[in-house]
């Protein structure tokens, strides 16, 4: 029962993160000036907002991995308690 709740919580967190990142991407596309839309991008550097998104995404991936590890440890700990 507790494991099921932990998995549901993990899934909910992942879905919220995915939605938040999608919302950020939508906001960035809205913030791009209309005169820039449709033009070929020839810059060698990515747009600053892309860099921010990448940084945020990487930070959230690290956090998600920590949460997965924590859920795994909690599940293992719970199994040990049940055995004893």
pLDDT digits (tens, 9 = 90+) for 21-76: 888 877 776 666 566 555 555 557 778 888 899 999 999 999 999 999 999 888 88
User: Is the pLDDT score of 15 beyond 70?
Assistant: yes
What is the pLDDT at residue 65?
A: 92
Separation CA 72–CA 42 (nearest Å): 45
Residues 5, 80 contacting (CB under 8 angstroms) = no
- What pLDDT score does 64 carry? 93
Buried b (16+ CB within 10 A) or exposed e, 25-62: eeeeeeeeeeeeeeeeeeeeeeeeeeeebeeeeeebee
Give the whole-angstrom CA distance, residue 16 versus residue 10.
10
3 versus 34: the higher-pLDDT residue is: 3
pLDDT at 34: 60
């Amino acid at each position: 029962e507790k494991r099921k709740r932990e998995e549901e919580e993990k899934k909910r967190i992942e879905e919220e993160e995915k939605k938040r990142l999608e919302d950020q991407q939508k906001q960035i596309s809205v913030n791009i000036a209309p005169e820039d839309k449709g033009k070929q991008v020839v810059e060698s550097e990515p747009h600053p907002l892309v860099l921010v998104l990448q940084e945020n995404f990487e930070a959230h991936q690290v956090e998600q991995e920590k949460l997965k590890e924590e859920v795994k440890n909690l599940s293992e700990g719970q199994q040990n308690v049940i055995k004893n």
